[in-house]
Amino acid sequence: MQLPDPTLILKNVSRHIQLNLNEQEYFLSLLQTRELPRKSYLLRQGEICRSENFVLKGCLRAYTTDEDGTEHIVMFGPQDWWISDLASFLSQRPATYTIDALEDTTLLQISKTDLEKLYGKIPKFERFFRLLLQNAFVAQQDRIQQNLSFTAELRYLDFIKKYPRLEQLVSQKQIASYLGITPVFLSMIRRKLSRR
Amino acid sequence: MQLPDPTLILKNVSRHIQLNLNEQEYFLSLLQTRELPRKSYLLRQGEICRSENFVLKGCLRAYTTDEDGTEHIVMFGPQDWWISDLASFLSQRPATYTIDALEDTTLLQISKTDLEKLYGKIPKFERFFRLLLQNAFVAQQDRIQQNLSFTAELRYLDFIKKYPRLEQLVSQKQIASYLGITPVFLSMIRRKLSRR
DNA sequence: GTAATTTATTAAACTACTTTAACGTTTCGC
DNA sequence: GCGAAACGTTAAAGTAGTTTAATAAATTAC
């Protein structure tokens, strides 16, 4: 198997912290490449989430499934994003969410123990993951506020404005699941919008 | 004005990190006490959030208000909780949320600059606030998942199970706003539940 | 390349939740 | 302690979003 290009993850990290060449090399040495074919699982509800995962290529989703089989997507993981079941990863307890690949995907993974080593050797990474967490927290708070305040139509318009890449990438069914509506209703919204 | 009892905040901190007496004393020396009468504002949308706030007594709420005046509560701040507009506090940019007191409230506040000093002098506090943030992140993700999956009735039942104290403390109107439904509909849910 | 599966669209009937309005009760401000 | 305001309840009519089902179109599996 050929090694994938690490440029993307270094660029991702450099948005928050600066690394010299040795640090870059050490960081990369802790990462495992993983190929995930479409529809295969990275994590199933009930398993322990053992890695943080950076998406080099492809797209994942994290979701729950209720009694009647309906899926509810809490986050997407497109290229250049980090994804995991954070609660499970941090506590090493069973995961709430299932994570699978919406298309053939390549990941870079770091295990919990290697992440601890990384924190020890390059404390800047504490800062990096804290900033990641802060941004995620703020984005989530925003989403909660929108769910409380907006109709599905407004939420959809905001989604395509905020994540234009994702709108192209994932099916309407997945977007509907993320927005908390049925695919049928999303289709009705789109028809109404296109009539203008 | 009499100084309030700092026991509560020390207990709160000790849930995550251990402090010796000197550290305790230094930490307390950075805190400002603030009394907030019922209905007065701690922060208004558009202002800069300049402090993290620990609730010694009373209860706050953080919310947005839409065009027609409807309020949407993103979080409560009862006794023993931390509350702020985190995005605004971290970036020192205008706040999205308004925070006000649901009843007469006593806070302990720490300013951004004093918090930086605290991190410098007692790095354990970096860990403390990171853990706070992690817990808040997980709770929020949970709430998003529930908003996607559950009916208002189930969300209400979960709310009173998860926050029995809050159910007693705040009015139904506030709970409805937090759940994303109207007070009228919450009343209907309660009637239905009480008929069993 | 083709059959099988999944996805998107539309319509019609249905349900969860909202809106308005009226009324009694509690709480608040002073 | 009293008058005004806010809150909670109920009912009835309205709307946003769901469900089911049928059909066409796109994608997938082999």
Through-space separation of residue A154 CA and nucleotide C11 C1' in angstroms: 24
Tell me the backbone φ, ψ of residue B147, rounded to 5 degrees: -60, -35
What residue ranges of chain B have pLDDT lower than 70?
1-4
Taking residue B67's Cβ as centre, other Cβ atoms within 10 Å add up to 5
Nearest to A56 by CA among A17, A127, A2: A2
Residue A176: partners with Cβ closer than 8 Å, 6 or more residues away: A182, A183, A185, A186
> Does A126 lie in the same domain as A99?
yes
Q: Computed from CA positions of residues A149, A153, A157, A163, in that sequence, does the dihedral angle turn out positive or negative?
A: positive
Beta bridge partners of B64: B72
In a domain, B30, yes or no: yes
Question: What is chain A's alpha carbon radius of gyration, rounded to the nearest angstrom?
Answer: 18
> Does A155 lie in the same domain as A127?
no
Residue A141: partners with Cβ closer than 8 Å, 6 or more residues away: B74, B86, B87, B140
Domain stop point among A132, A158, A181: A132
The CATH number of residue B36's host domain is 2.60.120.10
Buried b (16+ CB within 10 A) or exposed e, B69-99: eebbbbbbbbeebbbbbbbbbbeeeebbbbb
In a domain, A143, yes or no: no
> Does A111 lie in the same domain as A36?
yes
Domain stop point among A106, A132, A158: A132
**pLDDT of A2 above 60:** no
pLDDT confidence band for A144 (50 / 70 / 90): very high
B19 touches chain A (CB under 8 A): no
Please identify residues in chain B, positions 29-48, with a C-beta within 7 angstroms of any atom of strand C: 38-39
> Does A43 lie in the same domain as A69?
yes
Total of domains in chain A: 2
Q: Find the residue in A nearest to B138 (Cα).
A: A87
> Does A110 lie in the same domain as A24?
yes
Tell me the backbone φ, ψ of residue B67, rounded to 5 degrees: -45, -45
Chains A and B form CB pairs within 8 A to the count of 75
Round to whole Å and give the CA distance between B160 and B34. 29
In a domain, B91, yes or no: yes
In a domain, B33, yes or no: yes
What pLDDT does residue A40 have? 94
B169 touches chain A (CB under 8 A): no
In a domain, A37, yes or no: yes
pLDDT confidence band for A179 (50 / 70 / 90): very high
Through-space separation of residue B196 CA and nucleotide D12 C1' in angstroms: 25
Sole residue written with tokens 């309906």: A70
Nearest to B108 by CA among B145, B44, B177, B60: B60
**Contact flag B148-A74 (C-beta cutoff 8 Å):** yes
Determine if the pTM surpasses 0.85.
Answer: yes
What pLDDT does residue B1 have? 44
Smallest Cα–C1' distance to nucleotide C8: which residue has it? A187
Round to whole Å and give the CA distance between A151 and A189. 11
Smallest Cα–C1' distance to nucleotide D8: which residue has it? B187
In a domain, B83, yes or no: yes
In a domain, B142, yes or no: no
Tell me the backbone φ, ψ of residue A75, rounded to 5 degrees: -160, 150
Through-space separation of residue B184 CA and nucleotide C23 C1' in angstroms: 14
> Which residues 73-92 of B have a C-beta within 8 angstroms of A?
73-74, 86-87, 90
What's the rounded mean pLDDT across residues A142-157? Answer: 96
Q: How far is A111 from chain B (nearest CA, A)?
A: 18
Probe site for chain A from B137, B158, B178 (most A CB atoms < 10 A): B137
In a domain, A141, yes or no: no
Nearest to A77 by CA among A51, A43, A97, A101: A101
Q: Render pLDDT for A93-131 as a digit per residue (tens, 0 to 9).
A: 999 999 999 999 999 999 999 999 999 999 999 989 999
> What are the distances in angstroms from CA A88 to CA B17, B22, B50?
21, 35, 33
Q: Helix (H, G, I), strand (E, B), or coil: what is residue B174?
A: helix
Q: Which residue has the higher pLDDT, A13 or B68?
A: A13
> Does A118 lie in the same domain as A160?
no
Torsion of CA A142, A146, A147, A151, to 10 degrees: -160
Residue B46: partners with Cβ closer than 8 Å, 6 or more residues away: B94, B95
> Which residues of A are less than 8 Å from B96 in CB distance?
142, 145
Q: Judge if the beta carbon of B153 is closer than 7 A to nucleic acid strand C.
A: yes
Q: Find the domain containing A12 and state its range.
A: 7-132
> Does A88 lie in the same domain as A126?
yes
> Which bases of chain D come closer than 7 Å to a protein CB?
7-12, 16-21, 28-29
Through-space separation of residue A170 CA and nucleotide C11 C1' in angstroms: 26
Q: Helix (H, G, I), strand (E, B), or coil: what is residue B66?
A: coil
Torsion of CA A59, A133, A14, A9, to 10 degrees: -30
Q: Judge if the beta carbon of B182 is closer than 7 A to nucleic acid strand C.
A: yes
> Which residues of B are less than 8 Å from A90 in CB distance?
134
**pLDDT of A133 above 70:** yes
Probe site for chain B from A83, A91, A144, A154 (most B CB atoms < 10 A): A144
Q: Which residue has the higher pLDDT, A67 or B157?
A: B157
Q: Computed from CA positions of residues B47, A126, B142, B172, in that sequence, does the dihedral angle turn out positive or negative?
A: negative
Beta bridge partners of B51: B111
